Amino acid sequence: MSTPGTSTPSTTMGITNTLVRLKVTLLRNGLRRSVWKTVGLVIGGLYGLGVVLLVVTALFALRFAEAELAAAVTTTVFTLMTVGWILMPLLVFGQDDTVDPARFALLPVPAGRLVRGLAMGALIGLPGLGTVLAAVGLLGTWSNAIAPFIAAVVVLPIGVLLCVLWSRAALTWMSALLAGRRTRDLSVVLLMVLMLGLALGAQFLPRMVGDQAQMMAAVDRTADILGWTPFGWIWSVPGLVAAGDWGLAILRLVLSLALVVALAWLWRVRLAVAMTSPPDAGQQRTNVRSGALAGLLPDTPAGAVALRCLLYWRRDPRYMVALVSLLLTPVLRGAVALTTGATALTPWAALLVTWLVGSSVGSELAYDSSALALHVLTGVRGVDDRIGRAIAYLIIGAPIALVTAVAGAVLSGHADLLPRVLAIGVASLLGGLGFGLWLGTRIPGKAPKPGANPLSSGESGGLKSMLVLFLSTTGTMISALPAIALVVLSFIGPDWWQWVALGVGIVSGVLCLRAGTRVGGRVLDRRWPEILSEVS
């Protein structure tokens, strides 16, 4: 008979099974509750499965490569995968809180009994399944010899376990710091910069690597360095066995086993502290100086809506994600065009800003969530809501697009393209904004709840947001067609057509924006209760 505070194998296994079943049940019920989330998960699962199958196929193909190459590639890939398990939960803090340890704080369950169940639960989902399948591909890489294959069989469960332990231990120890709003905001910005930087690096990679021999040498050096890090100890063992370096292989295997014990202990210690410490609401006093903004806006209901939206752009992490995207996307695309020799494409990168505005404003009501009730209860007219949001987006988007276009034209030496870029840019910015203001009243979309992870996709699983993006992009293109046609004529005819295109772009954009605010406002006046129910 066990005493309170002790842990027997049967009780620990029972808690583990309960936590695993709880994670599966929560996932299943979440899918049943939202058709959009189910469809989005299926689409994301199929895409992820395709990527994993491609990786597994490549790993099996390494079976026919030289042992040195196979060792270098597998060590590098799986070490980076382990680092990804550490970074992603930290950068997207709060992404998966279905079995958050804080939820068990009031239950008489010691932290030690939760560790195994939480570790198993971390593998339930697309990331865990993809990691296990990729690790199975390691068996295919080393299936051409008995000793490396046996080493891969031993490495597989230890490596997957280390991915989970690294992730959970780091997240648990950093949870107190990540609970602060400023830190969460910073993590969002860092993640966006990282994602866009990786996209930029992928486009520069072919230019950075001169030939195949150079690339192989770089991979070998990278794998040698990563193999000496705690993240790569376990993944380098099969390659060392294949090379006959048994001493170093056994050393790194022993170090990896010691690392498993150390990480599990660190996780358990911090978990016990987290479960017995009072929760921190994370409320931080903010000093919002809105006087300067208020002085720039009209003293009308539309001006008040615009001021509120601008304050959200300053304070809400969800809007910071959009702002970072608006700032970095055209800059990085322009940099790629400038450095790859396609200088004539650099000024056109500014159009990315104008095309993103329409889709962003289409989901604006979803970002308000239940706070939209303030507009309903105070009797804000639909047209005032639409005009206020349009003002806010113009204040944010127009300067970014203009500066990007001018800088791209000057730096690339194609200042003659600036009127053409501005013609399409003005038409797509104003026209897309008008179309998005109407579309948002018909399909508000889904967005992360206030205070939730800014990079999550909301209850829809992202599918409804993708629909809004597709429709808004189509509407933006249609609204800019007159300006686009005239710009094309300016390339094959007289240059003065570009100035006609600029004038037509301004006129057509203003008309589309005016129509969007008026028609969207009338739809809002009729559908305030339905939209409030849908977004909250």
| pLDDT value at 387 more than 60 | yes
Write down the pLDDT at residue 289.
Answer: 47
| pLDDT value at 150 more than 50 | yes
Confidence band for 243, pLDDT divided at 50, 70 and 90: confident
Which of 210-214, 348-352, 470-474, 526-530 is predicted least confidently? 210-214
- Of 301, 312, 300, nearest to 365 by C-alpha is 312
| pLDDT value at 320 more than 60 | yes
Write down the pLDDT at residue 185.
Answer: 59
Which of 142-151, 157-166, 438-447 is predicted least confidently? 438-447
Burial 13-44 (b: 16+ CB within 10 A, else e): eebbeebbebbeeebeeebeebebbbbbbeee
| pLDDT value at 53 more than 90 | no
d(CA 340, CA 332): 12
Write down the pLDDT at residue 50.
Answer: 76
In order, the DSSP letters of 340-362 are: TT-GGGTGGGGHHHHHHHHHHHH
d(CA 324, CA 111): 39
Higher-confidence position of 321 and 97: 321
Write down the pLDDT at residue 90.
Answer: 61
CB atoms within 10 A of CB 64: 9
> Span 323-349, mean pLDDT?
75
| pLDDT value at 93 more than 90 | no
Average pLDDT of the chain? 77
| pLDDT value at 533 more than 50 | yes
Higher-confidence position of 113 and 504: 504
List the domain boundaries for the chain. Answer: 11-276, 291-535
Write down the pLDDT at residue 485.
Answer: 92
Q: Answer for the pair 386, 394: CB distance below 8 angstroms, yes or no.
A: no
Higher-confidence position of 286 and 50: 50
Write down the pLDDT at residue 416.
Answer: 86
Confidence band for 459, pLDDT divided at 50, 70 and 90: very low
DSSP conformational letter for 379: T
Write down the pLDDT at residue 388.
Answer: 92
| pLDDT value at 386 more than 90 | yes
| pLDDT value at 409 more than 50 | yes
Secondary-structure breakdown of the chain: helix, strand, coil percentages, each rounded to the nearest 5: 80, 0, 20
Higher-confidence position of 387 and 341: 387
DSSP conformational letter for 311: H
CA-based end-to-end distance of the chain: 50
> Span 481-497, mean pLDDT?
89
Higher-confidence position of 218 and 487: 487
> Which phi and psi (to 5°) does residue 325 adopt?
-65, -45
d(CA 13, CA 9): 6
Write down the pLDDT at residue 521.
Answer: 92
d(CA 410, CA 38): 48
Write down the pLDDT at residue 283.
Answer: 44
Q: Residue 134 carries which side chain, given as an amino acid letter?
A: A
At 246-283, the pLDDT tens digits run: 888 899 899 999 998 888 888 777 777 666 665 444 44
Write down the pLDDT at residue 426.
Answer: 92
At 26-51, the pLDDT tens digits run: 666 666 666 666 666 677 667 767 77
Which of 115-119, 161-165, 249-253, 359-363 is predicted least confidently? 115-119
| pLDDT value at 527 more than 70 | yes
| pLDDT value at 96 more than 80 | no
Higher-confidence position of 209 and 110: 110
**Cβ-proximal residues to 6 (8 Å cutoff; 6+ apart), any chain:** none
At 160-216, the pLDDT tens digits run: 888 888 888 877 776 655 555 555 556 666 666 666 666 555 555 555 455 556 666
